[in-house]
Amino acid sequence: MWIALFPTWKHFKFYFFTSDAEKILKKLENEPFEIKCIKKSPSHRNFILRFLSENSPFLFLKAFIPRLFKKNRIKNYFKAFKTLKNLNVSLLDPIFLFWGSPQIAFLKKEPFYGGIVFPYIEKGFLKRKNLFLDDKKENVNSRLIKNLIFFLFELHEKGIYLKDTKFNNFYYSSEENFKIFDLDGIKFYKRPLSKLERLKDISTLAMSLEWEKIANARTLVFEIYKELFPELREKDFERFSQLVEKKRKKREKALKTLRRN
């Protein structure tokens, strides 16, 4: 199965993050495993892997599809990962990552040119139920949302533009606070983010909260952030609201396309 996914994997470059990474790679090569695709996009596939000798899912694999004249997203991830570590930003560490040439893989019609392997994490990522304090979904967990916005503010002060700030992209535990997982689209600046960059970044968070029926989500996000960043004025709310609407329409369009397919 591993060879079917990555026919030329022995020629790939590897980087191991954990002490057992090489052992896990060898296990993937030699032992049968069950694989389930949980997300499809033009650029990659997300899989959950379970060894047949195990009772529960063991690994999460993000495998990247070769596309002509497109950058190597695994190398971009690795570069962003190292930059974030240097900035003391909390991350979910992978087990290992690996890559070959996207262009050669494209010409050879190979399914993937590399991937990133993480431990399978069943609990920790924020879910809809975490946004509320009761089962009836009537009382919003304002403290959690406020803490998440403060976490984003700290990133912005370090010059980090995260881009995909949907609430369910964050890992959270009371012991470790928030951690970043998805590094696609992240940008770094040698200065704190501008007002517009901040509004763009938090607009995605507001849209995702609004999507989950959080009452007055965009007002809530804007007002909490304004307390941290006094340069925001009431007049900026109109621009912020436009950004939220744009993100919402984009998501609606993507869902319609998914249903048609």
What does the pLDDT look like over 24-49, one tens digit per residue?
999 999 999 999 999 888 899 999 99
Over range 190-211, report the average pLDDT: 97
- Residue 6 CA, chain-centre distance (Å), reads 23
Q: Look up the CATH architecture of domain 128-251.
A: Orthogonal Bundle (1.10)
Examine the pLDDT at 175 and tell me if it is beyond 90. Answer: no
Q: Look up the CATH architecture of domain 2-119.
A: 2-Layer Sandwich (3.30)
Delimit the domains of the chain by residue range: 2-119, 128-251
Q: Which residues of 120-131 are buried (b: 16+ CB within 10 A; e: fewer)?
A: eeeeebbeeeeb
What Cα–Cα distance (Å) separates residue 63 from each residue in 73, 110, 115, 142, 201? 10, 12, 4, 36, 26
| pTM attached to this predicted model | 0.90
Give 75-115 pLDDT, tens digit per residue.
999 999 999 999 999 999 999 999 999 999 999 999 999 99
Domains 2-119 and 128-251 alike in fold: no
